[in-house]
Homo-oligomer: A and B are copies of this chain.
C-alpha cells in the first residue's frame, strides 16, 4: 500500500531532505509540495539536484486537497507552523519539523519563542519526536513534534545517563559545534560563504539557545527534579553535522556501559569502543548517530561525544523514521543509506 505524502514548506533544506529520503521509500508517494512564495515553480528550479525526480509542482497550502493525503510533513517556520496545523483536518497524521509542538508547557513555549502559543489543543496531543525514547507513543500519535537538531544530539549523549543517575545533574556542559545548514536557507549576512568559511565562533551565548527549552523539559522530567544544563553552540564552516562534546561528572566506564546498554538494539545509534571519538564526516547524509565516551585525566570526570547529521537524523531523517512508525511501516525503511564520505 502506498501512502500519499504532503510536504509543506518544501523549498527549505529540511523539505528538500525529506524529498531526497522519501524518493527511496517503496511505500510512499509525494502527492503535494507547498511553498507559498515559490508556488508555481518546479522542484527542479528550486533544487536542481532533485531534477531527476517526477514531483508535483510547488503549490500554496490552500491548494492541497488534504482528504487525499495520508501523512503531512510540516517544514515551516515556527509560529507559522502552529497556525497552519491548527487549520488542517483533525484526523490528518502530521509530523511537524518546527519548534511549535516540542514544549509541552505553553509558558515555556512563550518564554523561549517570544509569542503566546495559538494552537493549544494540538500542542496538548503532540508527542515529542525523539524516536528512541517515545517510540510507543509515536506509533499511535496523530501529531509528532520533531525535536531540535541540537536538542536531539545532546539528548542522545545524555538521556540514559540522567535516567540511570550515573552523572552529577548539576555539572553538565554541552559544547556543540554545528554546521550551517541548521540555520536554513535564509538570507543572513553571517551565513554568506565569504563570512562563514575560514572561521568559526560561538553564538547564543550564556545558555540562551532556544533548544535549551527542550533540554530543560526532558532532563527534568526524567530526573524528577529541575535540571539545567550549560549549552554553547558554535558555528563551523561545514554544511552538515552537529558534534556535541559533553562534559560530565561521573565514571567513564559506567557511562559507556550505560549508553551501550541503552542503545544496544537501536538501529541508528552506534556506540564507539571506549576511548574513541566520532566525527561528523562519518555520519554525513545518513540517519546514524555515533557516540563515544572518554575518561578525563581528572578522576570522576568524563566526556561524551555525539555526532549526527542535523538535516537527517537531526531533522528530516528523524521525521521519516517517525512517519514510518505512524504509518505502520518498518521504522528503518529508506533510512539505511550509508554516510557520504569523503
Contact mask A231-243 → B, CB, 8 Å, 1/0? 0101011111101
Distance, CA A234 to CA B200, complexed state (A): 12
**Chain B: which residue is nearest A280 at the CB level?**
B199
For this chain, the copies found in one complex come to 4
Beyond contacts A202-B243, A284-B340: 4 other A-B pairs, Cβ-Cβ < 8 A, are: A20-B338, A181-B194, A193-B195, A200-B241
Complex interface: chain B residues within 8 A of A278 (CB):
48, 201
**Chain B: which residue is nearest A202 at the CB level?**
B277
**Chain B: which residue is nearest A283 at the CB level?**
B49
Given A175-B175, A230-B298: A189 touches B187 (CB 8 Å cut-off): yes
Complex interface: chain B residues within 8 A of A165 (CB):
none
Q: Could you list which residues of chain A lie within 8 angstroms of chain B, going by C-beta atoms? A: 13, 16, 19-20, 23-24, 47-53, 171, 173, 175, 177, 180-181, 183, 185, 187-189, 191-203, 205-208, 212, 228, 230, 232, 234, 236-241, 243, 245, 247, 270, 275, 277-286, 288, 290, 292, 294-298, 301, 303, 305, 307, 336-342
Pick 12 A–B contacts, CB within 8 A, sort by A.
A24-B337, A49-B283, A52-B288, A173-B173, A177-B177, A191-B193, A193-B237, A199-B279, A200-B238, A202-B305, A205-B294, A206-B275
Q: Are B238's CB and A234's CB within 8 A?
A: no
Given A52-B270, A207-B297: A198 touches B13 (CB 8 Å cut-off): no
Option from B206, B237, B277 in Cβ contact (under 8 Å) with A296: B206
Minimum distance in angstroms from A306 CB to a CB of chain B:
11
